[in-house]
Amino acid sequence: NDERKVVAFIGDATLFHAGLPGIINAVVQNHNVTLIIMENGTTAMTGHQPRPGTGEVGDKIPLLPLLEALGVQFIRQADTYNQAKLASHIKEALDHDGFSVVVAAHPCMLKFTRGRQRKHPGVPLPSVKIDPATCDLSRVCIEAFGCPSFQVAEDGSVTVNEDLCIGDGSCRQTCPREAIALPAKGGAQ
């Protein structure tokens, strides 16, 4: 159906490995496709090997200039932790006729937390806290953000599973009551 917009997702490592021919074809044919590139700086699905865009092995191949060199006319980039900006870019890309790319960029938090744990063995990761006096139990943090560390207790309150929380505070933007607090400074950073 030529009237429907196709949305495709690809990781940055897979893009370098196998996605470039598809991008070239989409540019040349001006396919009505929005490609969302999840740029996390690693090959997460197979063990966090470096990818060509990191510069860890060989010269760094920067993603945005590469996309421009391939002829992509519509490119937007946002940090995935800025949800409002990312959502705006995706909406703009979906409204665009023809090929469009949105780069959703943020370092892989699993790789980051494992590196932090290696640097500071035995030091627990920080965890955000929920102020029960401020929380209105709307569960926006669970439903809109989807972080697995947020859980509903038997009494209906929202709690944080400290074994799952990485304490980066990215969830704070979802709470309309500002009931989510960052951990105190001084832990493993």
Return the residue matching tokens 């519509």. 74
Top CATH class of 6-112 equals alpha beta
Spell out the long-range contacts of 15-19 with Cβ–Cβ below 8 A and sequence spacing 24 or more: 15/63, 16/51, 16/52, 16/53, 16/61, 17/51
Neighbouring C-beta atoms of residue 143, cutoff 10 Å? 10
Poorest-confidence range of 84-93, 138-147, 172-181?
Answer: 138-147
Domain ranges of the chain: 6-112, 125-181
Q: CB–CB of 102/78 below 8 Å?
A: yes
pLDDT, tens digit (0-9, with 9 covering 90-100), for 51-97:
655 556 667 788 999 999 999 999 999 988 788 899 999 999 999 99
Alpha carbon dihedral 67, 68, 71, 72, in 10-degree steps, equals: 60
**Full-prediction pTM beyond 0.85?**
no
The C-alpha atoms of residue 11 and residue 72 are separated, in whole angstroms, by: 17
**Residue 56 to residue 36: CA distance in whole angstroms:** 24
Instruction: Give me the CATH topology for the region 125-181.
Output: Alpha-Beta Plaits (3.30.70)
